[in-house]
A and B are shown apart, each in its own frame.
Chain A
Amino acid sequence: MFSPPPALEAGPDDDQLLRVSLGPQHPSTHGVFRMNVVLDGETVVSLKPVFGYLHRNHEKIAESVTYLSSMPYTDRLDYICPLTNNWAYASAVEKLAGVEVPERAEYMRVILGELTRLINHTAFAGFILGDMGAWGSALMYAFREREKILDLFEDVTGARMMSNFMRFGGCRNDLPAGWVDKVSILVDEYGPFLDEMEKFLLGNEILLVRTRDVGQLPKETLINGGITGPMLRAAGVNYDIRKADPYGIYDRFSFRIPLGEKGDCYDRIMIRFLEMRESLKILRQALDQIPEGPFINPKAKIRNFKPPVGEVYARIEGPKGELGFHLISDGTVNPFRYRIRPPSFINLTLLEDMCLGLDLADVVIILGSIDIVLGEVDR
């Protein structure tokens, strides 16, 4: 049963408390989201998230269309990083149907996936500054670099953001001629950009004061809450699916998992910068090693694709955390059940625990440091 969110007019018993409807309400920030916050002066007493404004019925639609037709809908989940969403869904269906992926396609997926991680973390660095009130420079620098990667995506997939590129058993088309060289140039230029960005942001006293020791939670709470991704690693828990449960060809690359110490907002920003550097390492290795060959398994079926009866859960390490797809097949062209485990949504569940007792201004930074995209939260 749908129960309406608590009305703002229903005032608290204590008339010293103040109810505020807070939240990023503009689609260009994090999405459309609302928090019903009860404040005692500046201090947060209670915080109840209200979401669903961007609900698109993705899971139910997927049960009524064919397996392939769900692929473009996964682009719209986390619209900052569509290619990792494609990858997670494709790997779930491949596991279900037992389709092999050729070598070249695996390398293409790693390259595109790591570029997506760069996009996500770069955009995060811009957005978190926007949340602190520095709306402008940092976001523009981040988006300038993001646009270069998006141009590369357009050359390959045909669209900047709505890529719809991965297929069951490979990728849709081959890399265009000269694309690998273009990525190599970008990877070489990205290190200096990260240096510049770190100089620009991470020594800034205002940022230090506002993010240090804000929004900490004990490791146990984070693990019990199912938090994954950079949020968990910032608290010092060594858990990255690329290492813990290697998928694709990640076991071939040498890279390290950066870990934080405290798990406050500063660690969460820092960890993303360090992860970008590790992504650059993976990209360099993948660009050197990428072999020639088919980009899609020639036995893979495009039309009238019917996987055998079964149930799978496949997960990948998305830029925001563990992104998983749970599929149940009854042997027809449509999935019987299609369920997503979105990292943004699960990471958001501990928002209230992080915010209680802090100031109203800290809530905005904590929400920014979780790095949510409402397209994925609401689905």
Chain B
Amino acid sequence: MNNSSIELPAKINRLPAPPKSGRWIMPGLGLFQGLMVAGRNMVESYYKKERMTTIQYPEQRAPISPNFRNFPFLCYDKEPVAGLRCTACSICENECPPKCIYIVLDRDENGKSLKRPKVFDIDISVCMNCGICAEVCPFDSIYMDGEYELSNDDRFGGLLLGLDRLSKSAEYHMQLRPEEATAVLARRKADEEKKAAAQAAKEAKAKADKEAKEKAAAEAQAATEQKGDSV
């Protein structure tokens, strides 16, 4: 412990203690002061705008903050469920603190992965709204929703969200968090272009290789033919 770093402490400014006889100089003065504060607060609550904070809920709603998070949803670009961005990689399943996500990978009849979820369940009675799933997803697939009216009369099935209820469109995401969604869409587009460019380059290279090979083969053939001719 480095004592030189400690500054001189501030002493408590104590109110004068009551005399030993037990009689106060002005008994009740502090109480009266406190009552004045309470009275002013009560009167202010009737006319001051910032004090009248009640919102008539079903008719009026308070705006929700853009960072507000509730339960996760899955994002799709074009068609619901089939067009999900999710590849069933199970990263969110592993990182989920209360383990409320359950994923089964879809496979074709040969057992080859189709890179999409067959089952994707989130039990929102277990979910603790932490947002870690959205944070760790590398495929921009899972995001936190702002929906808060979720009361349900079915305790089990009603709170277990499957693929059909989790799928929400990219437009919905755009509406919910425009800034984040725009950035994500721009990045995805750039990635796709990059991928397409890489694919094109690969194809071009393959084509060039093929042509070169053909050319070489043709030359070799021509050479052998020439040789044959000369013989």
Would you call A303 and B6 a contact (CB within 8 A)? no
| B1 interface contact, C-beta 8 A | yes
Would you call A201 and B12 a contact (CB within 8 A)? no
Would you call B15 and A204 a contact (CB within 8 A)? no
Would you call A238 and B14 a contact (CB within 8 A)? no
B33's partner among A199, A260, A303 (CB-CB below 8 A) is A199
List residues of chain B with CB within 8 A of the CB of A48: none
Q: Which B residues between 26 and 51 are near A, CB-CB below 8 angstroms?
A: 27-31, 33-34, 37-38, 41
Q: Which A residues between 139 and 177 are near B, CB-CB below 8 angstroms?
A: 141, 154-159, 162, 164, 172-173, 176
| B17 interface contact, C-beta 8 A | yes
Smallest CB separation, A102 vs chain B (Å): 18
Chain B: interface size category: 35 or more
Give bound CA distance, A206 to B35, whole Å.
13
Would you call B37 and A158 a contact (CB within 8 A)? no
Smallest CB separation, A263 vs chain B (Å): 11
Q: How many residues of A contact B (CB 8 A)?
A: 51
Question: Given that A158-B69, A173-B67 are contacting pairs, would A203 and B12 also be in contact in the complex, using a CB cutoff of 8 Å?
Answer: no
Would you call A303 and B95 a contact (CB within 8 A)? yes
| B178 interface contact, C-beta 8 A | no
Give bound CA distance, A267 to B12, whole Å.
8
List residues of chain A with CB within 8 A of the CB of B7: 243, 254, 256-257
Would you call B11 and A259 a contact (CB within 8 A)? yes
List residues of chain B with CB within 8 A of the CB of A212: 17
Give bound CA distance, A239 to B130, whole Å.
35
Give bound CA distance, A204 to B28, whole Å.
8
List residues of chain B with CB within 8 A of the CB of A267: 12
Smallest CB separation, B12 vs chain A (Å): 5
Would you call B128 and A258 a contact (CB within 8 A)? no
| A274 interface contact, C-beta 8 A | yes
List residues of chain A with CB within 8 A of the CB of B135: 172, 302
Would you call A176 and B66 a contact (CB within 8 A)? yes
| A270 interface contact, C-beta 8 A | yes
| B223 interface contact, C-beta 8 A | no
Counting chain B CB atoms within 10 Å of each CB, the highest count among A158, A238, A257 belongs to A158
List residues of chain B with CB within 8 A of the CB of A24: none
Smallest CB separation, B133 vs chain A (Å): 10
Give bound CA distance, A72 to B65, whole Å.
20
List residues of chain A with CB within 8 A of the CB of B95: 66, 68-69, 303
List residues of chain A with CB within 8 A of the CB of B17: 212
A137's partner among B6, B14, B38 (CB-CB below 8 A) is B38
Q: Which A residues between 103 and 159 are near B, CB-CB below 8 angstroms?
A: 137, 141, 154-159
Would you call B67 and A154 a contact (CB within 8 A)? yes
Q: Which of A28-36, A244-252, A312-320, A345-353 is the contact stretch?
A: A244-252
| A271 interface contact, C-beta 8 A | yes
Would you call A238 and B6 a contact (CB within 8 A)? yes
List residues of chain A with CB within 8 A of the CB of B15: 202-203, 208
Would you call B94 and A66 a contact (CB within 8 A)? yes
Would you call A154 and B65 a contact (CB within 8 A)? yes
Residue of A nearest to B24 (CB): A205
Would you call A303 and B67 a contact (CB within 8 A)? no
| B132 interface contact, C-beta 8 A | yes
Residue of A nearest to B97 (CB): A69
A: residues with CB less than 8 A from B are: 65-66, 68-73, 137, 141, 154-159, 162, 164, 172-173, 176, 196, 199-206, 208, 212, 238, 243-246, 251, 254, 256-261, 267, 270-271, 274, 302-303
A-B pairs with beta carbons under 8 Å apart, 15 shown: A69-B97, A70-B97, A72-B132, A155-B67, A158-B67, A158-B69, A200-B33, A203-B34, A244-B6, A245-B1, A256-B10, A257-B7, A261-B11, A270-B14, A303-B95
* Other contacts beyond A154-B68, A204-B34: 19, CB < 8 A: A68-B132, A72-B97, A141-B41, A158-B69, A158-B144, A159-B129, A164-B131, A172-B131, A172-B135, A176-B67, A199-B37, A203-B33, A205-B27, A244-B5, A245-B1, A258-B12, A259-B12, A260-B12, A271-B12
